[in-house]
A and B are shown apart, each in its own frame.
Chain A
Amino acid sequence: MVISLPRSHHSLTASLAMIALLGSATSLAGAPPGDWQAVVEEARGQSVYWHAWGGDSRTNRYLEWVAERMQAEYDVDVIHVKLGDTSEAVSRVLAEKQAGNDDEGSVDLVWINGENFAAMRANDLLFGPFTEQLPHFALTHPEHNPEVVTDFTLPTDGFESPWGKAQITFYYDSQEIDTPPMSIVELKAWAEANPGRFSYPRIPDFTGSTFLKQALIELSDADQALYAPVEESDFDAISAPLWDYLDALHPHLWRSGRQFPASGPDMLRLVGDAELSLAFTFNPAEPAAAVADAALPPSTRSYVFEGGTLGNVHFVAIPYNSPHKAAAMLLADFLLTPEAQARKQDLAVWGDPTVLDVTRLDDEQAARFEGVEDNPALLAPDALERTLPEPHPSWMEALQDAWQARYVGR
């Protein structure tokens, strides 16, 4: 049941929590874990309120497709509750727990990773471990792909099921830029030469926060410290080069750094409006998809930095007080089917890379993932090999707070 993983020093409490929660899982599903058919039966007719970031129309359309398939296949009603930020769902479940609502929660499934997962785990807000029960989880082959069971350095311990991958990908208009900057340091020189043509999303947006981490990794020599809780190191000393860098960079940004785009998709709109020339996204396929939608010019090109860019896996998790755990598990499993994963990776649909280990799928299933389009706006296939792992989630919060104290209201 328990996945063998590099365990944190919290493992004892985690195991205790698991045992406690496993009990409730068994009673809820009304069958021993592993009896998947019982879960499918119990799920029939249930509704799943899936709280997921709703800021991207392609993602939303994919979720609509998932809802249709779940209805047709399992008679499960999937309702996408669109969030502006995943923290809203965390806040809601926490408030329900505080109010003593332990089995009638309003969130059944949440799209999550990073600091939000860490926060929910720390407050015992998640149901699990459940991923080993999902028939299709095995296709991710965690023994060969540790990233599907590791979230921002924390082991997932079966409390969240992998769904997709993300990596910071830069894009630009090749008619305008010949040689884009290939590192954080080059980026500053480029911004100085091209004032007002680059920016990053306003913190605490997650894409913007990831830019801070990318810059911090490249600018500091403190790799070890970044992968441990921030309390264990001297934050001011380690982050000092980042603030020097940003202080120097901001005057050359869009709107002279007095205003920032709202989010990753907002940056894409600004590139489409020709306000920005260089931008980045967390979804490697987004620029190519935007070209197909006529939102970006056909001369758009994608790339990653020479030294690699930050990447991570995103997951779905089930709150401990969800009244529809069976249907939520069924949905989490459906998201891992080759059918759903292949459709998600399809550039025409969403373009979010699969978490399945395609090299270990049988031929018929692997065939679904073939046919990578020869699209000039798409990232070179080998580019994603240069992936930098995410720092410990506590760094994200520390960076966000420091950024806001420094740049808000000045």
Chain B
Amino acid sequence: MLRLAPWLIATLLVGPILAGLAMAALPAFGYLPALGGDAFSLDPWRALMTQPGLARSVAVSFTSGLAATVVSLTVVLLFLAAASGSRLDRWIRRMVSPLLSIPHAAAAFGLAFLIAPSGLLARLASPGLSGWERPPDLLIVNDPWGLSLMAGLVIKEIPFLLLMSLAALHQLDAERRVAMARSLGYRPTIAWLKVVVPSLYPLIRLPVFAVIAYASSVVDVAMILGPTLPPTLAVSILTWFNDPDLSRRFMASAGALLQLGVTLAALASWWGLECLVRRLGRGWVAGGQRQRGERMLRLAGKALILLAAATALVGITGLALNSLAGVWRFPDGLPQSFTLQHWQRALPALGGPVTTTLSIAVVATLLAAGLVLAALEHEQRSGRQPAQGQLASALTLLYLPLIVPQIAFLFGLVVVIEALGTRPTRWLVIFGHLLFVLPYVFLSLSEAYRRFDPRWSRVALTLGATPNGAFWRVRLPMLLAPLLTAMAVGLAVSIGQYLPTLLLGAGRVTTVTTEAVALASGGSRRLIGVWALAQASLPLLGFIIAVGLPRLLWTNRRGMRGTP
């Protein structure tokens, strides 16, 4: 049974993606008999090319994908280099999980309200500091260059890359490397950058690719923060797909392939960038400079991550204020009055979507956790331990859903499902979520599982336990804390899913995320505050359980409570 787990995972993930891509590719070349496309042609591509502003959409998708990744990775590496062992380091490490759990849409809403010309910052600075009696007419949110979109992506991708880096760092024995470099006279930050980063980067390369793919094809964040005339490519594709003129679906399919191309181009450019940095970096490392830039790098490393974390947290606080605000006119820094009215009105409507969201997230996460545990246990028993980042493993396919843009294969998947005559159900949505929950649960759990001291199991076996007994009675209880954390990550991923829920649920399965994004175009900011806060608090619940449960269960076993 266990032997099948890795293959089951690979099939579950690869099958739908390949089917989806194929069904996006056929209509892109005019073939989709259900809609009257019986012959191959290039018409969809011609129609696509005549779309106003297409070049701009593509350019924004491409650059936001690359730029958001460059910035987030830089911030993460500088922080790790500058703050190792400091109090800030411990605080940020504790904040990683909550920050990661804020859904993208909620973080985007928070940022939008923070930086808008009539937003929280402008209100706090007006009229005293800025002299603004009314909001200035500045194009900040939804700017045509995608800068606010990139900022929104950066504050969400930093916690992800940080979590991945922290997991990988365990393999590297960074402290001893730095100690060695310091004994040669290197200042701490320079030392870290010169001796740890070159070994760390290969280990986090796949997560970085996932960030590029995500940032270049995201839909919900782009709808909230991205440019509008035209929107990013992914958002345009969604509009074309929903057009009552069904012939536009051919064009949308061509657009989906174009999106795949844009993402691949961004990945290829990243690869080029890697080569460049390697060449330049080699000179820098070998140059022997021990001190130059230390102060600046140290300051930047601490300041940038603080800025990102503070932005996310203040943004969420702004949403909370909005959800409780009565009258709140422009230059006022705080609402004139507070009211529970918005929550009271929204509560009856919140119930259904919250239940749906949780049931989908729990089922998808349990399925994912079961499969991941089976695959990891199989790996342990068969004694094969592929090093993280090594491309040869079958489980590397786990990254496929994270690297193929959602919008590129989900439409094809919907076509497949429509052709099969399957009606949209909650199970279909759960299956769609599983595609994305599984990789994240695996990424979060595998490190702890592989580092688990094998001697514990060996002792159990020596004492007469069966391999299954050793798993259930020794390994699982001892790994409860990391398992729960991985499941909390899975819950957060599922709760934040927008496009799979929307497309596979055909609009009938409403979660807090689809509701919150639906409000983006028209809802009052107070209502958006309520929904985004509800959306952000659900994953937090998961993390609280993940931290609290082991402490509760193992009150008399301090070593098993896990590290906060």
Contact = CB atoms under 8 A, between A and B. Distances in A.
Contacts of A145: none
Contacts of A223: none
Contacts of B228: 202, 259-260, 262
Interface in B110-163: 116-118, 134-135, 137-139, 142, 144
Contacts of A88: 242, 507
Contact of A295 (B116, B229, B249, B524): B524
B303 interface: no
Interface string B278-310: 000000000000000000000000000000000
B345 to A, nearest CB: 7
B56 interface: yes
Interface stretch (B94-102, B181-189, B322-330, B486-494): B322-330
Among B55, B134, B229, the one with the most A-chain Cβ atoms within 10 Å of its Cβ is B229
Nearest to A203: B229
Contacts of A407: 229
A266 B527 CA distance: 12
Interface in B512-542: 515, 518-527
B562 interface: no
Interface stretch (A99-107, A210-218, A384-392): A99-107
Interface stretch (B367-375, B416-424, B457-465): B416-424
B521 A55 contact: yes
A408 B53 CA distance: 6
B383 interface: no
Contacts of A60: 349
B527 A57 contact: yes
Interface string B37-62: 00000000000000011111100000
B135 A83 contact: no
Given A57-B527, A98-B246, A409-B52, A266 B522 contact: yes
A262 B510 contact: no
Given A60-B349, A94-B246, A99-B419, A265 B54 contact: no
A51 interface: yes
A264 B330 contact: no
Interface in B195-249: 228-230, 241-244, 246, 249
Contact of A269 (B230, B421, B525): B525
A119 B139 contact: no
A360 interface: no
A101 B34 CA distance: 11
Among A79, A83, A272, the one with the most B-chain Cβ atoms within 10 Å of its Cβ is A272
Contacts of B243: 87, 91
B230 A409 contact: yes
Contacts of B519: 55, 57
A85 interface: yes
Nearest to B507: A81
B35 interface: yes
A106 B423 contact: yes
Contacts of A95: 35, 246, 249, 418
Given A259-B139, A407-B229, A56 B522 contact: yes
B330 A274 contact: yes
A320 interface: no
A293 B34 CA distance: 48
B508 A81 contact: yes
A82 interface: yes
B256 to A, nearest CB: 16
B85 interface: no
Interface in A26-73: 49, 51, 54-57, 60-61, 64
A409 B56 contact: yes
Nearest to B527: A57
A7 interface: no
B553 interface: no
A376 interface: no
Contact of B137 (A91, A94, A254): A254
Contacts of A94: 244, 246
A16 interface: no
B53 A82 contact: no
B29 to A, nearest CB: 18
B524 A91 contact: no
Given A57-B524, A273-B330, A82 B229 contact: no
A294 B326 contact: yes
Contact of B242 (A85, A116, A202, A266): A85
A60 B521 CA distance: 14
B423 A82 contact: no
Nearest to B246: A94
B348 A408 contact: no
A105 to B, nearest CB: 10
Contacts of A405: 52
A241 interface: no
B229 A258 contact: yes
Given A55-B521, A57-B523, A409-B55, A274 B139 contact: no
B518 A259 contact: no
Contact of A263 (B241, B246, B521): B521
Nearest to A205: B521
Interface string A265-280: 1101110111100000
Contact of B244 (A79, A91, A104, A293): A91
Contacts of B139: 255-256, 258-259
A119 B247 CA distance: 13
Contacts of B36: 98
A11 B423 CA distance: 35
A82 B55 contact: no
Nearest to B520: A262
B510 A265 contact: no
A83 B523 CA distance: 13
Contacts of A119: 244
Contact of A84 (B55, B142, B518, B527): B518
B144 A51 contact: no
B179 interface: no
A213 B510 CA distance: 34
Contacts of A101: 421
A262 B52 contact: no
A204 to B, nearest CB: 9
Interface string A292-313: 0111010000000000000000
Given A83-B507, A87-B242, A408-B229, A294 B418 contact: no
B506 interface: yes
Contacts of A297: 329
B230 A408 contact: yes
Nearest to A262: B521
A142 interface: no
B505 to A, nearest CB: 10
Contact of B506 (A87, A92, A263): A92
B424 A106 contact: yes
Among A83, A88, A196, A254, the one with the most B-chain Cβ atoms within 10 Å of its Cβ is A88
B337 to A, nearest CB: 8
Contacts of B520: 262
B137 A255 contact: yes
A274 B330 CA distance: 6
A54 B418 contact: no
B48 to A, nearest CB: 14
A55 B223 CA distance: 14
Contact of A258 (B53, B144, B506): B144
5 tightest Cβ-Cβ pairs between the two chains A and B: A409-B53, A55-B522, A265-B522, A273-B118, A196-B137
18 contacts: A54-B518, A55-B521, A82-B510, A82-B515, A90-B244, A91-B244, A95-B418, A99-B421, A100-B34, A262-B521, A263-B522, A265-B521, A266-B521, A274-B135, A274-B330, A275-B137, A407-B229, A409-B54
Interface of B: 34-36, 52-57, 116-118, 134-135, 137-139, 142, 144, 228-230, 241-244, 246, 249, 326-327, 329-330, 345, 348-349, 418-419, 421, 423-424, 506-508, 510, 515, 518-527
Given A57-B524, A269-B525, A405-B52, 6 more contacts: A81-B508, A91-B243, A98-B36, A98-B246, A106-B423, A256-B137
